[in-house]
Amino acid sequence: MKIQTFLLAGGLAAAAPLAAQAQSADALYVRSLAANCSNCHGTSGRAVATSAVPALAGMPREYMLRQLQAFRDGSRPATVMHQITKGFSPTQLEQIAGYFAAQPK
């Protein structure tokens, strides 16, 4: 009985770091998707003050998602964004919009 309790507790303790790792792997994945945007929109979506390209940090999720979908389906004309958004799945665009919405401006 004591050994079973010990094994159970040991198993739970060993599983906890795995769950934390899975969560941070997801976060890292979404962050790496968003990193594709930093060349033009600034690191973490914070563009420099004089930039002609808009900052993405803190942009409302729904607004950004609508723009990304419109670039992707061609209903919003663009110079580069129509091509960039075609490189991501609709789910990835949702993840990217969620990431930038959560970034401080």
Taking the mean position of all CA atoms in its chain, how far away is CA 5? 40
For residue 78, give every residue at least 6 positions away whose Cβ sits within 8 Å of its Cβ, in sequence order, or none. Answer: 71
Of 15, 16, 80, 102, the residue at the interface with ligand HEC (CB under 6 A) is 80
Q: Tell me: does residue 89 bind ligand HEC (CB under 6 A).
A: no
Q: Tell me: does residue 28 bind ligand HEC (CB under 6 A).
A: no
Of 84, 94, 95, 98, the residue at the interface with ligand HEC (CB under 6 A) is 84
Q: Rank residues 22 and 80 by Cβ distance to ligand HEC and give the closer one.
A: 80
* Burial group, residue 34, by CB count within 10 angstroms (0-12, 13-18, 19+): buried
Q: Tell me: does residue 74 bind ligand HEC (CB under 6 A).
A: no
Q: Tell me: does residue 70 bind ligand HEC (CB under 6 A).
A: no
Q: Tell me: does residue 30 bind ligand HEC (CB under 6 A).
A: no
Sign of the C-alpha dihedral computed for residues 69, 74, 77 and 83 taken in this order: positive
